[in-house]
Chains A and B, each alone.
Chain A
């Protein structure tokens, strides 16, 4: 009897869960707040500042979506998630979207039932070595000791790469990036490997960053981007086109400085459409016409967000590389707004 009650409750809960995922957009509007899953802290991507305000590349995406949907970029509740809790938090509805430097892979998309809506950062695994080692290419790393985070895709990539190039290495297993930095600085390993954005961020924190170099080889593809639950296409569209609008804005030269000026109307129909001067696009999304204007005004266009959080003027100092616009030899490309 007791068992049947519990099972019944669980069943009702699952049913309710199924029903509630029907309209995330309406739910967010009704709640008046966007629940956005971010990391518990990753340099350049998401971290709270001294006043407890979250800052970073991923954080700006949450704010852009909140600005588009709710009209206010501050109406975001940031939910810090760890590598283990992130997917459950999204699947169970605790967060509406994840912007948590998550790599788009086949199994995450298909098997875990998520929808990756965009790629906002093309990352890849790289190597960092002390300059004193005199190495200029990863092909010369035969027999090196390598600091590697256990249980990550980077560990598998490393093994594949060394095997394919017929080289041997000595792994020094580490648990966190913090530990890796200390071990590498203390000389416990010759090479430190992780995503290149992470390597750049780590190198920037060293007392003498010039004594270390990041090798040119990129041994894996790590396309990072925001994701939502599968099965709610309207909401996926909202997040996807907010992300696209940021890239398109850079392409069209819309910046946070000139957006007010441009939204009064220009002779470029594409700009008029994206900023809602020529109406119609917003309604198809279930939003008003100024949605993309607000999203871009929140933190600027893609280039501005990149420059403010990861770019060459920040301590992390990443070049655009693959993340440049397609017109500049990169991969950032938005389908047209029409």
Chain B
């Protein structure tokens, strides 16, 4: 009886009917998002009009792009012969012709591979720091990279960066030997030993090894480093150096020790109260008067130091914000576990404080990278500097948008990359459950 199908009940399901055409796909999306009321419809139409007018103005300009020409007048001639006498067009030929200059500055052509290799090395070196999936062994490359990168870009004897590196090694050994007794004492010992090495031993070691085994690249002067290479050198060194310095300053500002706190506060407030351009002028002009003539205190190095100090002061405040956001209980928990100051910072406080500060930190990084263009005011030829220089040649005088669009686009790629990475990092480190 129960097996008997009921006569009035369907045995199979009805085919699902297609929804009405205005309820699916782009039509529905448009109806819900663009034309949901008369006000929104009006706004949509106005916006459409604005976008189309802009496109109508800009699209032909991009459409008439010329990629191969030796000068602006030649470019205009090509545009006029191809698209009519009144046509207007983009002349990206200038990028094509000055591509190398915008990227490398006056770096010797036969040395481009060195700059490229340094860039690839840099990507490899920062990969293990940025992504935990990358094999940990690459961290060795990260530690060695500053010396390798310096040698690749500036050339000279290989033993110079190596003898500088050895200073860190002997300092590290001294630290290791003393760390059993006291961390502070060990840090001081490591510091002193490293400086002693750099002042007295590094020079002879460099010369001795160069005499025995001369391995050297042709040396390149700092004046020849320019274009995006310069921006990246200043930006990356500033970024990598300012973060640790900023952490130390933030901790110093919260310290109970009067001297350290005063120095930190004074430094931070002084640097934040002075415009970056002033610091750059100090680096390039004022130091020239104080240093004995003939001292080869590299201009790029001076700029990197100033940019680093500047960014570090901002970084310190960003990280202080992160520290302030940590509940008091975290500090007390660390104390209750019997951790000393540095262990507590390393294991409990900093991981949390830095996580909180990520958006602020990346914000500072992006600002720093864009601020590198200010070096144009002290006569260094970064991409913006080269725009002026290129526009001053008789071939390209009068060109404008193309160069700025290109430089703007390159900067955008870098800054957008940084911002995307910070979002990825925030998602990855998210441990709270909503």
Residues on the A chain within 8 Å of B406, using CB: none
Interface residue? B388 (CB, 8 A): yes
Which of A123-131, A141-149, A199-207 lines the interface with chain B? A199-207
Interface residue? A10 (CB, 8 A): yes
Indicate if the CB atoms of B378 and A85 lie closer than 8 Å.
Answer: yes
Indicate if the CB atoms of A81 and B379 lie closer than 8 Å.
Answer: yes
Known: A16-B293, A20-B293, A182-B400. A43 touches B392 (CB 8 A): yes
Which of B41-49, B169-177, B283-291 lines the interface with chain A? B283-291
Residues on the A chain within 8 Å of B20, using CB: none
Annotate B366-389 by CB proximity to A: 1 below 8 A, 0 otherwise. Answer: 000000000011111100010011
Interface residues in B35-87 (C-beta closer than 8 Å to A): 72-73, 76
Known: A47-B389, A80-B381, A207-B76. A315 touches B394 (CB 8 A): yes
CA distance A103 to B394 in the complex (A): 22
Q: How far is the CB of B396 from chain A (nearest CB, A)?
A: 9
Interface class of chain A by DSSP? mixed
Indicate if the CB atoms of B223 and A47 lie closer than 8 Å.
Answer: no
The contact of B397 among A50, A79, A205, by CB within 8 Å, is: A205
Indicate if the CB atoms of B379 and A79 lie closer than 8 Å.
Answer: yes
Indicate if the CB atoms of B388 and A40 lie closer than 8 Å.
Answer: yes
Interface residue? B390 (CB, 8 A): yes
CA distance A93 to B289 in the complex (A): 9
Indicate if the CB atoms of B394 and A10 lie closer than 8 Å.
Answer: no
Indicate if the CB atoms of B397 and A315 lie closer than 8 Å.
Answer: yes
Question: Which residue of chain A lies nearest to B94 when distances are taken between CB atoms in the complex?
Answer: A50
Q: How far is the CB of B283 from chain A (nearest CB, A)?
A: 11
Residues on the A chain within 8 Å of B397, using CB: 43, 201-202, 204-205, 315
Indicate if the CB atoms of B393 and A88 lie closer than 8 Å.
Answer: no
Interface residue? B261 (CB, 8 A): no
Interface residue? B273 (CB, 8 A): no
Indicate if the CB atoms of A13 and B393 lie closer than 8 Å.
Answer: no
Indicate if the CB atoms of B377 and A205 lie closer than 8 Å.
Answer: no
Annotate B277-300 by CB proximity to A: 1 below 8 A, 0 otherwise. Answer: 000010011001111111000000
Indicate if the CB atoms of B381 and A40 lie closer than 8 Å.
Answer: yes
Interface residue? A150 (CB, 8 A): no
Interface residue? A181 (CB, 8 A): yes
Q: How far is the CB of A190 from chain B (nearest CB, A)?
A: 20
Indicate if the CB atoms of B101 and A43 lie closer than 8 Å.
Answer: no
Indicate if the CB atoms of A47 and B72 lie closer than 8 Å.
Answer: no
Contact size range, B:
35 or more
Interface residue? A105 (CB, 8 A): no
Residues on the B chain within 8 Å of A42, using CB: 392
Residues on the B chain within 8 Å of A12, using CB: 292
CA distance A222 to B376 in the complex (A): 26
Indicate if the CB atoms of B285 and A48 lie closer than 8 Å.
Answer: no
Interface residue? A94 (CB, 8 A): yes
Indicate if the CB atoms of B398 and A13 lie closer than 8 Å.
Answer: no
Annotate A199-229 by CB proximity to B: 1 below 8 A, 0 otherwise. Answer: 0011011110000000000000000000000
Interface class of chain B by DSSP? helix
Indicate if the CB atoms of B400 and A178 lie closer than 8 Å.
Answer: yes
Indicate if the CB atoms of A77 and B398 lie closer than 8 Å.
Answer: no
Residues on the B chain within 8 Å of A111, using CB: none
Interface residues in A37-72 (C-beta closer than 8 Å to B): 39-50, 52, 55
Annotate B329-356 by CB proximity to A: 1 below 8 A, 0 otherwise. Answer: 0000000000000000000000000000
Residues on the A chain within 8 Å of B392, using CB: 39-43, 45-47
Interface residues in B218-239 (C-beta closer than 8 Å to A): 221, 223
Indicate if the CB atoms of B388 and A178 lie closer than 8 Å.
Answer: yes
Indicate if the CB atoms of A205 and B381 lie closer than 8 Å.
Answer: no
Indicate if the CB atoms of A84 and B377 lie closer than 8 Å.
Answer: yes
Interface residues in B90-123 (C-beta closer than 8 Å to A): 97-98, 101, 105-106
Question: Which residue of chain A lies nearest to B287 when distances are taken between CB atoms in the complex?
Answer: A92
Interface residue? A314 (CB, 8 A): yes
Question: Which residue of chain A lies nearest to B284 when distances are taken between CB atoms in the complex?
Answer: A85
Interface residue? B391 (CB, 8 A): yes
Indicate if the CB atoms of B289 and A41 lie closer than 8 Å.
Answer: no
Indicate if the CB atoms of A13 and B291 lie closer than 8 Å.
Answer: yes
Question: Which residue of chain B lies nearest to A46 when distances are taken between CB atoms in the complex?
Answer: B392
Indicate if the CB atoms of B72 and A40 lie closer than 8 Å.
Answer: no
Indicate if the CB atoms of A181 and B288 lie closer than 8 Å.
Answer: no
Indicate if the CB atoms of B378 and A181 lie closer than 8 Å.
Answer: no
Residues on the A chain within 8 Å of B378, using CB: 82, 85
Interface hub of B223, B281, B379 (most chain A Cβ within 10 A): B379
Question: Which residue of chain B lies nearest to A15 when distances are taken between CB atoms in the complex?
Answer: B292
Complex A-B: 7 CB contacts under 8 Å: A13-B292, A20-B294, A39-B392, A43-B391, A47-B393, A88-B285, A315-B394
Question: Which of A's residues lie within 8 Å of B, judged by CB?
Answer: 9-10, 12-14, 16-17, 20-21, 39-50, 52, 55, 77, 79-82, 84-85, 88-89, 91-94, 176, 178, 181-182, 201-202, 204-207, 314-316
Question: Which of B's residues lie within 8 Å of A, judged by CB?
Answer: 72-73, 76, 97-98, 101, 105-106, 221, 223, 281, 284-285, 288-294, 376-381, 385, 388-395, 397-400
User: In the complex, given contacts A84-B281, A94-B288, what are 12 additional A-B residue pairs having Cβ atoms less than 8 angstroms apart?
Assistant: A40-B381, A47-B392, A77-B223, A79-B223, A80-B380, A85-B378, A92-B288, A92-B293, A178-B388, A205-B398, A315-B73, A315-B394
